[in-house]
Amino acid sequence: MRIRRDLTELYPKVRLYRRDLSASHNNVSVFFEKRGRFAEAEESIRESLRLRRELLEETPQDPVIIEAVAQACFNLAGLLGELDKTKEAEDRFKEAIKIQQKLAQEHGAVPKYRQQLAAHQSTYGVFLRDLRRFEESLVQAKAALELRRDLVRHFPNDVTYHDQLADSLNNIAIVYSNLDDEERAHQYFDEALAERERMVRRAPRNVEYRVNLAQAHNNLGLNLVNLDKREEGRTHYRAAIQAYEFIVKEHGEVPEYKVSLAKSCFNLGNLLRIQNEANNALDWHNKAIGLLKPLHESARQVVEYRMNLMRAYDSRAKAYDVLQRYPEAIADWDQAIRLADDFTGPVLRSYRALTMARSGQTENAIAETDKLIRAKVTGDVLFGAACIYAQCVEAMKSDAKQTDELVGKAVTQLRRLQKGGFFQVPDNVALLQTEEQLNPIRRHPQFEKFVAEIGKRAPPSLPPPVRGP
C-alpha cells in the first residue's frame, strides 16, 4: 500500500499506479472489515471508490474500470448495510447494479459480467429482505436466479456457477418463508441443499462450501419445523451445528462462523422448548449467548451481532418462562429489550409483561402494558396486551371491580384488532376459543359479548399476533 501510494504521488498521471492503489484500498477494507475494524474499512473503501471514479472520468468506455467502479460501489454498500447506514447503502447497491447491467448488455459474450450482475442483485435482495421489503427482495432474487441458471446451463462443469445458483435458491426460499409460503420455500431449500452437497463432495476441504452446506441444513431445519415436521427439522439442526463446530474449531478468528453456529444453537433450543424439553434447550441457548456476547461487546456498532444476541436472550427467556424460572426469564427479557430495535422492542416488552403477570408481579405487568398500548403498536402487541390483562385477572379475581376493569382493557385491545380486520381471518377467530392465555376471561360477560359480535364486517387485517413467550 505504502509503495503504491508513493508511486501515485510521484507519478500522478500514470493510470496503472492509481488503479493498483485503488485495488490496495479495496483489499485493506476487506481486511479491516473481517476483523471488526469498521471505521477503517469504510475509509479505505471510500478512497478506493474515489480513485476509481477519477479513472472512469478519464476513460469512460474502459470496461475494466467500469467494472471496478461497480465493485467498489457494491463493497461500500455491503459495509454501509452492516453499519445500519441504510439510505446510502441502498443508493450504492442501485448504482452498482445499474453499472453492471450496462456492462452485461454491451458485452453479452463475457460471462463474468452476468455473474457479477447476479451477485449484486442477489446481495441487494438480501439487503431488502433484512429491511422486511420482501416483495422487492423477491424481484432481485429471482433476477439473480435467472442469470445463474443460464450460466449453469452454458457452463455445467463450473462449480462456482453451481455454488452461486445454490445461493439464489436459498435466498428465494428465505423470502418465501418470510411471506409464510413454507411449501414453496421448501422446494427451494431442498434444491439448495442438494447443490451444496454436490459442492462439498467435489471439494471437501473448501471452507466456504462447508459453511454453505451447514447453513443449508439450518435453513431446511427451520423450514421443516414451520411445516410441523419437527423431528426432521431437529436432524438438520444437529447436522448444521456439527458442521459449524468443526469450522469454528479450525477458523475461530472468523466471527461470522461463530454467529452462524450460535443461530443454529438457539434454533435447536427453540425447537427443544416447544417439544417440552426446555431444560435441554437451556444448554443450547447458553452456548449461543456465550458465542455472541463477546462479539457484540467487541463491535457494538455491528447490527448482526446485536440482533442475534437479542434473539439468543429472547430464546433463553422463553425457555426460563416455560420452566417457571420467572426472575431469570425477566432478566433475559431486560437484556433482549436493551438490544432491540424499534420494531422488536414493543413485542419483547409485551413478553416481559406476560412473564411478570405469570410470576405474580401483577401491578408491574399492568403498568407496563398500559404504557405499551398508548403507543402505535402492531397487532401482535395488541393481542399480547389482551393476553396479559387476562392473566392479571387470575390474580385479581377476588376483586370484582378490578376484574371488570382488566377484562374491559383486554376486550378494548381485541376491539382495536377487530377494527383493523384481524378477525376476518378464520384462524384468528379461532384464537378466541383456543388461546390459553385468555382462559381467565373466557366466561366473563364482556368477553362473551365481544365473541358474539365477531361476525361483523371490518377493513383489512393487521399483522398476525405472536402469542406470548
How far is Cα 311 from Cα 306, in angstroms, rounded to an integer?
A: 9
pLDDT surpassing 80 at residue 2: no
User: What's the pLDDT band for 196 if we cut at 50, 70, 90?
Assistant: very high
How far is Cα 48 from Cα 70, in angstroms, rounded to an integer?
A: 11
How far is Cα 139 from Cα 246, in angstroms, rounded to an integer?
A: 36
On whether the CB atoms of residues 83 and 102 are closer than 8 A, the answer is no
- Please give the pLDDT value at position 1: 66
Task: Give residue 261's identity as a one-letter amino acid code.
Answer: L
pLDDT digits (tens, 9 = 90+) for 82-129: 888 999 999 999 999 999 999 999 998 899 999 999 999 999 999 999
Q: What is the DSSP string of 265-287?
A: HHHHHHHHHHTT-HHHHHHHHHH
User: What's the pLDDT band for 455 if we cut at 50, 70, 90?
Assistant: low
How far is Cα 319 from Cα 278, in angstroms, rounded to an integer?
A: 5
How far is Cα 159 from Cα 166, in angstroms, rounded to an integer?
A: 11
pLDDT digits (tens, 9 = 90+) for 360-388: 999 999 999 999 999 888 888 999 999 99
Q: What is the CA radius of gyration of the chain?
A: 26
CA 288 to chain centre: 16
- Please give the pLDDT value at position 400: 87
How far is Cα 312 from Cα 262, in angstroms, rounded to an integer?
A: 8
pLDDT digits (tens, 9 = 90+) for 51-78: 888 888 888 888 988 899 898 999 899 9
Q: Which residues contact 176 (CB under 8 A, 6 or more apart)?
A: 138, 182, 184, 185, 188
DSSP code of 61? T
* Residue environment code for 64-95, b if the CB has 16+ CB neighbours within 10 A, otherwise e: ebbbbbbbbbbbbbbbbbbbeeeeebbebbeb
User: What's the pLDDT band for 220 if we cut at 50, 70, 90?
Assistant: very high
User: What's the pLDDT band for 257 if we cut at 50, 70, 90?
Assistant: very high
pLDDT digits (tens, 9 = 90+) for 138-155: 999 999 999 999 999 999
Give the total residue count for the chain.
Answer: 469
On whether the CB atoms of residues 18 and 31 are closer than 8 A, the answer is no
Q: And the C-alpha cell for 309?
A: 444476541
Torsional sign, CA 12, 13, 14, 20: positive
pLDDT digits (tens, 9 = 90+) for 276-329: 999 999 999 999 999 999 999 999 989 999 999 999 999 999 999 999 999 999
Q: And the C-alpha cell for 38?
A: 469498521
pLDDT surpassing 70 at residue 466: no
pLDDT digits (tens, 9 = 90+) for 396-416: 878 889 999 999 999 999 999
CA 262 to chain centre: 14
How far is Cα 31 from Cα 330, in angstroms, rounded to an integer?
A: 40
Say how many C-beta atoms besides its own lie within 10 A of residue 103's C-beta: 19
How far is Cα 203 from Cα 223, in angstroms, rounded to an integer?
A: 27
How far is Cα 170 from Cα 164, in angstroms, rounded to an integer?
A: 10
The helix-helix angle for 38-58 and 63-82 (nearest 10°) equals: 160
